[in-house]
Amino acid sequence: MLESYFKLREHGTNVRTEVLAGLTTFLTMAYIIFVNPQILATTGMDAGAVFVATCVAAAVGTGIMALVANYPIALAPGMGLNAYFAFTVVGQMGYSWQVALGAVFLSGVVFLALTVLPVREWVINAIPHSLKMAISAGIGLFLGIIALQNAGIVVDHPVTLVTLGDLANPAAMLAGFGFVLLVALVAWRVTGAVIIAILVTAVIGMMLGVSPFGGRIFSLPPSPAPTLLAMDIGGALQAGLVTIVFTFLFIDLFDTAGTLIGVSHRAGLLTPEGKLPRLKRALLADSSATMVGAALGTSTVTSYIESAAGTNVGGRTGLTALTVAVLFLACLFLAPLAGDIPAYATAPALLYVACLMARGLTEVDWDDITEYVPAVVAAVTMPLTYSIANGIAFGFIAYAAIKLLSGRFREVGPAVLVLAGLFIVKFAIL
């Protein structure tokens, strides 16, 4: 049955290889079940319910990718998108988490519409490559400052805005140790390096009395009721939230496209022309997962680049993804452990992801000032304004203005001009 459904022989693989690849992928991304509830809980959301939503949304999205698209790509609530949800939409703009969930759901609906209609390639190709890379890197820098803040290494200051925290604080020292351990494990190519570093750091902290241990690891899943179907779609339809919906959509769309192409390229799944077969099905899985996640009570669900870890050990079909989905469901019984993981133990994972995403700046054209200046503006303003949306807006405005004033009109597509104009209007009105 597995052979006929997933076409294992056709892809040069077998059940054992696919299951091993799924386990490998899961271990590289399982940190999200600890990190996501911590981030979204800052909005007032119930951490237990978010934990359930994280596991179930990841399982559903990855299952759809497995059974509909037959790709070895796993999905879960996206890093960066959860930070934008918690710290910008709710924390900075002041919207309720229910309205933010409504915006996530609407972004999934629009994503689905773009996937069904023959315009998705036009949308993806309309955005300059330098801005795509800058946005990825800027989100990384944003995650970096959040990680350092959670660890107590960076704190606020009335004169300089930010300054160095108390490095003698045990939490800060443990976070630093966890980060170094994580990177060393990655350098040694240890499978599950991120989750190992989180658990080791947390255990050491508990042994030293820095954070408490509840005494249990397994239990029945918490109730999903506090966040289940709590999204406020009516509130998200307000005119002021158009930018928020667009930002969720924008990041998810390009993050998904980049992940699909990148992982498929490493796995040898692209056609000789460099195209991705069944792209529509893969995007349908991603957009559907975002809507399901919002209904359950979590931020945008997206494809994970960590899926490349599974393809590196031979994963080639949806059976790899199906294995990941089953493992996420099994994690529902780890709620006590997830609740005991302190912020200083997950800070290293955030900082590590920040380092990975910052690599996007290397793909910017540093020989063209009209390309790299808008890219740097977009990347830098995200952490400094504590807003991914502001970074995207400044990047588009700078790109359009610099190209036009430099006389390079043809390099500015209509999509960039429209978006830049909308962002200018938004800032002028607000």
What band does 259 get if pLDDT is binned at 50, 70 and 90? confident
As a whole number, mean pLDDT of residues 58-80 equals 93
What band does 39 get if pLDDT is binned at 50, 70 and 90? very high
Asked if pLDDT for residue 430 goes beyond 70, the answer is no
Largest Cα separation within the chain, whole Å, is: 66
pLDDT at 273: 66
Task: Dihedral sign for Cα 247, 249, 254, 259, please.
Answer: positive
DSSP 147-211: HHHHHTSEEEETTTEEEE--TTSHHHHHHHHHHHHHHHHHHTT-TTHHHHHHHHHHHHHHHTTSS
Least confident of 132-141, 287-296, 362-371: 132-141
As a whole number, mean pLDDT of residues 140-155 equals 90
Please state, in angstroms and rounded to a whole number, the distance separating the CA atoms of residues 287 and 65: 11
Please state, in angstroms and rounded to a whole number, the distance separating the CA atoms of residues 30 and 326: 12
Residues 211, 205 contacting (CB under 8 angstroms)? yes
Instruction: Report the 10 Å Cβ neighbour count for 169.
Output: 15
Residues 143, 357 contacting (CB under 8 angstroms)? yes
Residue type, 28: T
Query: If you search the block for the tokens 């689905």, which residue do you land on?
Result: 112
pLDDT at 133: 84
Distance of CA 159 to the CA centre of its chain: 33
Average model confidence (pLDDT) across the chain: 89
Please state, in angstroms and rounded to a whole number, the distance separating the CA atoms of residues 122 and 396: 17
- Residue 212 phi, psi dihedral angles, 5° rounding: -80, 160
Tell me: the pLDDT tens digits for 193-235? 888 999 999 999 999 999 988 888 889 999 999 999 999 999 9
Asked if pLDDT for residue 258 goes beyond 80, the answer is no
Domain that holds residue 314: 2-429
Q: What share of the chain is helix, strand, coil (3-state, %, to 5)?
A: 70, 5, 25
Which tokens is 154 given?
A: 């960076």
Please state, in angstroms and rounded to a whole number, the distance separating the CA atoms of residues 403 and 239: 30
Tell me: the pLDDT tens digits for 371-425? 999 999 999 998 998 888 788 889 999 999 999 999 998 888 888 898 889 888 8
Residue type, 87: F
Please state, in angstroms and rounded to a whole number, the distance separating the CA atoms of residues 325 and 338: 18
Q: How many domains in the chain? A: 1
H or E element in which residue 302 lies: strand 301-303
Which tokens is 274 given?
A: 């460099």
H or E element in which residue 321 lies: helix 318-330
Asked if pLDDT for residue 338 goes beyond 70, the answer is yes
pLDDT at 419: 83
| CA nearest to 230, candidates 176, 152, 293, 179 | 293
Please state, in angstroms and rounded to a whole number, the distance separating the CA atoms of residues 17 and 23: 10
Residues 289, 64 contacting (CB under 8 angstroms)? yes
Which tokens is 218 given?
A: 């397994």
Residues 147, 350 contacting (CB under 8 angstroms)? yes
Tell me: the pLDDT tens digits for 91-130? 988 999 999 999 999 999 999 998 888 776 666 667 788 8
